[in-house]
Amino acid sequence: MHDHPDLGPAARRMSGVLAGIPDGELPAPTPCVNTSVGDLIDHVMALALAFRQAAEKSGSVADGPPPAPSAANLPSDWRDLLARRLDGLAAA
């Protein structure tokens, strides 16, 4: 049997940090070249889902690389959705 790290505390902390980001900050730059805060959040949204699906061995394997992250992809309820995805990843 393998020991797996408990991702729950990190998922809750990340959800808390991201919940405090106001919408007006989504266009702000990050240290990642040509990547806004919103783009980075979209990237985390996609990775949380993909890693959960990989852990659960569910979902489909994409052909080719994922689309470039973009703040334009964020739904209006992205904070709640991201928290659920991070919780799902931690549980998987």
pLDDT for the residue 2: 61
Is the pLDDT confidence value at 82 over 90? yes
- Segments of the chain assigned E as strands: none
Instruction: Please state the rounded mean pLDDT for residues 44-48.
Output: 92
Instruction: Please state the rounded mean pLDDT for residues 27-38.
Output: 95
- pTM value? 0.85
CA 20 vs CA 4, 14, 26: distances in Å: 29, 10, 11
